[in-house]
């Protein structure tokens, strides 16, 4: 079945630096990917929809200049957290949609735990 690989699984960075998270579809082409954020004991919150070759669509309240999304190929989307601060510490999860997949195609990565110190 469809597999989505997310890297890194864990990252610790200093406040003020930027961190890049990669999301890859391994065995299918994903024209659409999604980025979520999840705080402890809370549900997943959709941050943005990433479309290959075009600008991402951000959800209300998500700062597009802080969370830069690039979807330059059909198998890779990246999320860059710029000038990270401790309040950006969270679990970030990507999802890719395989339109040809057997279940509507939404497959999730294993997540990236970001800690900003």
| Residues near another protein (CB under 8 A) | 4, 6, 32, 34, 36, 43-46, 49, 91, 93, 95, 97, 103-104, 106-111, 113
Minimal distance in Å, beta carbon 83 to another protein? 26
Nearer of residues 83 and 110 to another protein, judged by Cβ: 110
Closer to another protein by Cβ: residue 62 or 82:
62
**Minimum distance, C-beta of residue 16 to another protein, in the bound complex (Å):** 26
**Helix/strand/coil (H/E/C) assignment for every residue in the chain:** CCCEEEECCEEEECCCCCEEEEEEECCCCCCEEEEEEECCCCCCEEEEEEECCCCCEECCCCCCCCEEEEEEECCEEEEEECCCCHHHCEEEEEEEECCCCCCCCEEECCCEEEEEC
Closer by beta carbon to another protein, 61 or else 104: 104
Q: How far is the CB of 101 from another protein (least distance, A)?
A: 9
- CB distance 25 to 108 below 8 Å: no
Nearer to another protein, 30 or 116 (CB): 30
For the CB of residue 78, give the shortest distance to another protein in the complex, in Å.
17
């Amino acid at each position: 079945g469809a597999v989505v690989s997310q890297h890194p699984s864990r990252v610790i960075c200093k406040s003020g630096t930027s961190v890049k998270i990669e999301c890859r579809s391994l065995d299918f082409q994903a024209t659409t990917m999604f980025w979520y954020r999840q705080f402890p004991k809370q549900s997943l919150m959709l941050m943005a929809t990433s479309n290959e070759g075009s600008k991402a669509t951000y959800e209300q309240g998500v700062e597009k200049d802080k969370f830069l999304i690039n979807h330059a190929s059909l198998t890779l989307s990246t999320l860059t957290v710029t000038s990270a601060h401790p309040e950006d510490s969270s679990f970030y999860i990507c999802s890719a949609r395989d339109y040809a997949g057997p279940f509507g195609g939404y497959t999730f990565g294993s997540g990236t735990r970001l800690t900003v110190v």
